[in-house]
Structure 1
């Protein structure tokens, strides 16, 4: 559900930082979640980015390189692409998707304090990262700072959980299995579904010509157990479950897979919905 970029987040004592993707999480994130909920949106945002043939492109919260790979394939061969993320283990997975001769640079970086010069990029891209930034206004200002005049910022967020049944089911399962103290991670990726506050924040940060697109998708999930394993083991939810110690993560996986199959049949035909923002630096 989410990108893994953030900093300065104050987590509950029993809940790991929702922006910390380490250990085996990157592998499960990439294999279990990537093909189902990220790939289609990655192709869409890469296509939109490439339309104006940008020469220098920055990706924020690149994670395991799902969007990075689509961007590199869509951009002109001469374009330079820099992929950043706060979590080095995620970028290590991303690096493996590229040959040494492909023009992609990787750098560990905080979205709130980007280590790049002013007006350095023609386009900035961020897939499912905004929800995790502890200071969203500061992140928008940083994106604007590193953009050239008339450069574009393209990013997407998940719509509300009611439009994303995998989120609704996941939240329902953890609340049922942990009635007294449910893990909180799954709320964060779906915390920015309102368009107007983001639009106003973009304007305040110095962006204009804002275009908003609501993007529904339908994906056939051939292996709901593998997808459910990604939902649990492919993000900090697994650490939050282990911290409670009452229910094994595998039990949560089985409950999620059973619910997905019960609601959507076999194979699971899973609807989902994201919101894409495109804005120009003024």
Structure 2
């Protein structure tokens, strides 16, 4: 994956983990980990593990002898993830591209991916690659964001930053929220040979934790910050201030409670 929208490097991982994690990732991570641990698995592979938000929950729920391999394209993300585990917790961290996994065929009985599929440049091919490393009968459990309108924090951030660059608005937020139609996902899975596909759309009401840190992470906690710096001429902190104001305007009437929506999939090879 060479697209810059998938490059979470530099200071991005820390902002991602501390500012975005508590607000938009942890609740879905709990649900994903619960589904993964509902059946016994011996060898588990996590794709796009990021800073280990799901990894930590998986390790807590899986049997201690179950091996867990956490992968991500971005080594700096995995460095933060490693800090959440002790050396004896049976977790291996591997920098790997989900489009070209460095594992043998039929290696794992469970694959997991939280909010990573949307960044894969060829969805159908990524599903074929996932199927390749799974044992017959193995499961793939993953989730994708619903569209921006159902996750208005993203819509707010996207529209606010665009006001600073009307001739060339940064497009990062279009990437994670472009794959929200469950039927489109199911069609891609079927094309890649997956079967027994089920999905559930989960809608939450989430109280924003530390709105200042959240606003900062919406700029600094993903590759949007690189798009801003590439364009130049605008202090990113000014954009943070405007996003903070926009978040307050939008969510203070609801006591800083925002809707979140994502769809969770479970399928088998």
Q: Shared fold (TM-score greater than 0.5)?
A: yes
CA distance in 1, matches of 2:162, 2:224: 13
CA distance in 1, matches of 2:231, 2:101: 35
Deviation at 1:31, TM superposition (A): 0.6
Select which of 81, 88, 96 maps to 1:101.
88
The 5 A counterparts of 1:1-282 are: 7-9=1-3, 17-265=4-252, 267-281=255-269
C-alpha contact (below 8 Å) 2:23/2:209 kept by paired residues: no
Q: CA RMSD in A?
A: 1.0
Count of aligned positions: 268
Deviation at 1:246, TM superposition (A): 2.2
Residue segments in structure 1 that go unaligned for 5+ positions in a row? 1-6, 10-16
Q: What TM-score comes out, normalization by structure 1 length? A: 0.93
Deviation at 1:222, TM superposition (A): 3.4
Q: What TM-score comes out, normalization by structure 2 length? A: 0.97
Residue segments in structure 2 that go unaligned for 5+ positions in a row? none
Deviations 1:141-167 (A, max 9, x none): 011011111110011110000000111
CA distance in 2, matches of 1:122, 1:183: 39
CA distance in 1, matches of 2:89, 2:52: 13
